[in-house]
Amino acid sequence: MITNQNVDKIETDEVLLNGTIVAKGSVSVSLEGELVEDELTGEPNQLIHINGVMESGYYIPDLDTIETNRYYIEGVAVSQERYGSLDNTIIYNFSARLFQVKFQDERNKYYKVDKNDEQS
């Protein structure tokens, strides 16, 4: 999860992979909502789909978490890896179970907002 310890170690052009590996890279995430009918009540519920792209020169075969100085992403499932012949960048397309945005207040305390890929 988010800790101030991790936040202090991550530079703006770095990603923390699986909580232990710091690599140069960037992440972009999109959230898409969908209304689904609750099977028991018939009421509509909103389902949030979390999808993203990470670019890095670092290869990691079993990616589970991605953290930047602004975001924490958990339950990562890589759907595609792309490799180019002219550079060392690997592009990972992924979906995730949990997305947290880090907010910083005037006292430098970090807060999180959870978005997860489950019915609420």
Average pLDDT per consecutive 10 residues, the chain (120 residues; last block may be shorter): 46 85 92 87 88 92 91 94 89 93 64 51
Given this model, what pLDDT does residue 3 score? 41
Q: What is the pLDDT of residue 77?
A: 96
Contact 66, 28 (CB under 8 A): no
Q: Residue 6: what pLDDT?
A: 45
| Cβ-based burial of 46 (10 A; exposed 0-12, middle 13-18, buried ≥19) | exposed
The answer to whether the predicted template modeling score (pTM) of the entire model surpasses 0.95 is no
